[in-house]
Structure formats: C-alpha cells, structure tokens
C-alpha cells in the first residue's frame, strides 16, 4: 500500500498522466513542477535550484516516503527534428538539460534517503529513454548523455544504498503518446509512427511499485512496435 508518493513533473506530459492515475490511489500525492499540477499537493519548485530541492526534501522530513517518481525532464531546442544542431546548442542549454535530467534526481535522492528508509517498501523510479541505451543514442548530445548517466546513477545508488533496500528503477521508453508527441506526429514533425499509450507506461510503473520489498526492476525498456 502506497501512502506517500512524490512525483516530479506532475504539471504536463507523462508526469501529469501518472499523477492523474495515482491521485485517488495513494493517500498523499505530492507533485513537483514550476507550473501548477492539478493533482495532489503541489510544490512549486525548479529542480535545477538546490534551495528548491531542499524545500522538496523538507516536505517529506520525518515522514515515510514510499515512492519517488522522477518523471520530469527537458531536452534541447529543436530536439528530435532535423533542425537540432549540436554546434549551435549553447553551453547554458547543455548545462540545463544535464542539471534537470541527471544532476537533480541524484541530488534529490540524497535529500530523501531518510524518508525513503522509513517506508517498509521504498521504490524510486527515474524516467530514462531508449536513447540512453548503448548504441541507441539520438543526436541530442546533452539529452542522450543525461539518459545514459541516469542509468549509471541508478546502478550506483542501488549499490551504495544497498543497506536501505530502496529499489531503483529506470524506465527507458520510446515515444509516448503525450499531447506534445501526438501533435508532433500529426504535424509531420515526427515521422509516421504509433506512440506507446500512456496506459502502457503506467502499467510498467504499477508493476514496479507492486513488487514486494524483496525485489525491484533495475531497468525496463519500453519500445514501440510501430516506431517511426
């Protein structure tokens, strides 16, 4: 039974759909984003700012946290289109993609160890990407690097925090049927393809969270049968 869940990225896209799924199923859902999440208790925060991470950590202080779902993220301008150009990606953009997608989840876990340890079955889920898998990187250098890095971070955290029995899962999906992806397919920004239904991603998250304290899924790759 999940009593307390912290979800990063509950205002849009994947995180919004997952927040909608869980808000009636968990006792206390906390959603983090810069713009308002319509579900759960919203914490307005920029995860690239350490002081904001401190506030997020403080919200679970002295409480038991059963699940951290890190589902937010960003990518480069014109990512996944022919217009993306690494040579013209600013240093600030590169730093920010890595800060939000990789550094922030690492720093956030550090702040939540004590709360997660209070749970009888603590689980952490990070959203990766198929482009974070060996030999499947996409052209977007900072985004691909952040997703590769997330897998390494999860593996290292599982070793370093073994005594806590926190399960660390990275889910690496192909294109998911968020409104933005559906729009990109409809407008021919993306090649014709059938994206992964949000309900399939939620099924994987449900599966991961339903495991006993004695096991966890280190990594799940979720591919499209009808990719572009």
Task: Compute the least distance from the CB of residue 55 to ligand NAP, in Å.
Answer: 12
Task: Compute the least distance from the CB of residue 1 to ligand NAP, in Å.
Answer: 26
Binding of ligand NAP by 209 (CB under 6 A): no
Task: Compute the least distance from the CB of residue 165 to ligand NAP, in Å.
Answer: 26
One symbol per residue from 1 to 20: x for binding ligand NAP (CB under 6 A), - otherwise; what is it?
Answer: --------xxxxxxx-----
Binding of ligand NAP by 101 (CB under 6 A): yes
Position of minimal CB gap to ligand NAP:
73
The string of DSSP codes covering the chain is ---EEEEETTTSHHHHHHHHHHTTTSSEEEEEESSPPSSSEEEE--TTSHHHHHHHHHHTTTS---EEEE------TTTTSTT--GGGS-HHHHHHHHIIIIIHHHHHHHHHHHHHHTSSS-EEEEE--GGGSTT---S-HHHHHHHHHHHHHHHHHHHHTGGGT-EEEEEEES-B--HHHHHHHHTTSS-S--PBPHHHHHHHHHHHHHS-TT---SEEEE--TT--
d(CA 102, CA 74): 10
Binding of ligand NAP by 139 (CB under 6 A): no
Residues 71-90 that bind ligand NAP (CB under 6 A): 71-75
* Nearer to ligand NAP (CB atom), residue 89 or residue 119: 89
Residues 141-200 that bind ligand NAP (CB under 6 A): 173, 175-176, 178, 180-181
Q: Which residues bind ligand NAP (CB under 6 A)?
A: 9-15, 32-35, 45-48, 71-75, 100-101, 127, 129, 173, 175-176, 178, 180-181
């Amino acid at each position: 039974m999940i009593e307390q869940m912290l979800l990063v990225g509950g205002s849009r896209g994947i995180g919004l759909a997952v927040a909608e799924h869980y808000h009636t199923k968990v006792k206390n859902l906390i959603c983090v984003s810069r713009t308002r999440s319509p579900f759960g208790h919203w914490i307005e925060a920029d995860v690239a700012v350490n002081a904001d991470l401190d506030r997020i950590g403080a919200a679970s202080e002295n409480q038991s946290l059963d699940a951290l779902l890190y589902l937010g993220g960003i990518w480069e301008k014109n990512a996944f289109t022919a217009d993306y150009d690494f040579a013209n990606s600013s240093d600030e953009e590169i730093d920010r993609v890595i800060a939000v997608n990789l550094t922030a989840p690492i720093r956030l876990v550090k702040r939540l160890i004590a709360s997660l340890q209070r749970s009888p079955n603590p689980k952490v889920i990070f959203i990766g990407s198929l482009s974070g898998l060996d030999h499947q990187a996409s052209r977007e250098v900072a985004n691909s690097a952040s997703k590769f890095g997330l897998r390494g971070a999860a593996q290292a955290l599982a070793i370093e925090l073994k005594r806590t029995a926190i399960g660390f899962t990275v889910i690496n999906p192909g294109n998911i049927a968020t409104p933005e992806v559906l729009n990109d397919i409809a407008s021919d920004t993306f090649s014709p393809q059938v994206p992964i239904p949000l309900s399939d991603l939620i099924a994987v998250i449900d599966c991961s969270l339903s495991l006993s304290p004695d096991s966890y899924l280190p990594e799940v790759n979720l591919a499209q049968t009808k990719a572009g």
